[in-house]
Amino acid sequence: MALSSREILSQAPVVPVLVIEDVNDAVPLAKALVAGGLRVLEITLRSAAAEESIQRIIAEVPDAITGAGTVINARQMERMAEIKCAFAVSPGHSAGLLAAAKETGVPLLPGAGTASEIMNLLDHGYDVLKFFPAEQQGGVSMLKALGGPLPQVTFCPTGGVSLANLADYIALPNIITVGGSWVAPKDAVKAGDWAKITKLAQEATDKVAALRRG
Ligand code: 3PG
């Protein structure tokens, strides 16, 4: 039985949001992040190398929990099911995407940013949602406000989250984890500086652990 998105995200101090341009970077990048304590990886379908990168990570980095990001339609959802992605993330949601998630059984983290979007997803049975784009939509204060009328919903905020504002997000009661690209900067990936990426991942892992200990 596949893990639910809640079970997957609860294992993630931070979810790295990755845009992989060169398929040869996929495995060393995933290994560097796992070495720094970040096992749950979101590889976005925004580059030509994305699909093969996901396949290679699934095959060669068994400690990673490998998901696809920027999954925006049924066709992509079906393809992610075929290649056995552990989960899928979308910046939003549509009827077609939700139907494909149900049909394929791939755990989906659908995106929402407003009360109406959240209510629509609750109607479809989703109570763990991506809050996107987090900073641009009001960030921590918006999540606090949404937690009043909609306390049953748990969010993974993504978009503008970094080490600088991580503490404010982690302190919220309606957060399961956060997503962000800061743990895998493009220049470090391009340079193959895997040690730097492990260091950034470990820094995020340690910070979240310290914040959760209080
Ligand atoms: C994205 O989809 O690009 C993510 O939200 C990552 O945002 P970030 O680059 O601001 O972390």
User: pLDDT digits over 63-79, tens only?
Assistant: 999 999 999 999 999 99
Q: What is the pLDDT of residue 2?
A: 77
Q: What is the pLDDT of residue 144?
A: 98
Supply the CATH number for residue 44's domain.
Answer: 3.20.20.70
Q: Is 139 in the pocket of ligand 1 (CB under 6 A)?
A: no
Q: Shortest CA distance to 42 belongs to which of 100, 93, 88?
A: 88
Mean pLDDT of 170-180: 97
Query: What is the average pLDDT value for the chain, to the nearest integer?
Result: 97
Mean pLDDT of 153-165: 97
Asked whether residue 58 carries a pLDDT value surpassing 80, the answer given is: yes
With respect to residue 52, please indicate whether it lies within any of the assigned structural domains. Answer: yes
With respect to residue 82, please indicate whether it lies within any of the assigned structural domains. Answer: yes
Looking at ligand 1, which residue's alpha carbon is closest to its atom 1?
159
Give the ligand 1 atom nearest the CA of 133.
5
> Based on the number of CB atoms within 10 Å of its own CB, is 209 exposed (0-12), middle (13-18) or buried (19 or more)?
exposed
Q: Shortest CA distance to 170 belongs to which of 203, 134, 140?
A: 140
Residue 118 token pair: 């959240």
With respect to residue 171, please indicate whether it lies within any of the assigned structural domains. Answer: yes
Q: How far is the CA of 35 from the centre of ligand 1 (A)?
A: 22
User: pLDDT digits over 81-123, tens only?
Assistant: 999 999 999 999 999 999 999 999 999 999 999 999 999 999 9
44: helix, strand or coil = strand
149 preceded by cis ω (within 30°)? no
Give the pLDDT band of residue 1 (cuts 50, 70, 90). low
Q: Is 92 in the pocket of ligand 1 (CB under 6 A)?
A: no
Q: Is 17 in the pocket of ligand 1 (CB under 6 A)?
A: yes
With respect to residue 209, please indicate whether it lies within any of the assigned structural domains. Answer: no
Q: Is 120 in the pocket of ligand 1 (CB under 6 A)?
A: no
With respect to residue 183, please indicate whether it lies within any of the assigned structural domains. Answer: yes
With respect to residue 213, please indicate whether it lies within any of the assigned structural domains. Answer: no
Residues known to be catalytic: 42, 130
Looking at ligand 1, which residue's alpha carbon is closest to its atom 5?
159
> Which backbone phi and psi does 44 adopt, to 5 degrees?
-80, 145
Q: Is 181 in the pocket of ligand 1 (CB under 6 A)?
A: yes
Alpha helices in the chain (DSSP H): 5-9, 26-35, 50-60, 74-82, 95-104, 115-123, 139-147, 166-170, 186-191, 194-213
The domain containing residue 118 runs over which residues?
5-198
**pTM (2 d.p.):** 0.96
Give the whole-number percent of the chain exceeding pLDDT 90: 98
With respect to residue 210, please indicate whether it lies within any of the assigned structural domains. Answer: no
With respect to residue 203, please indicate whether it lies within any of the assigned structural domains. Answer: no
Domains in the chain, number: 1
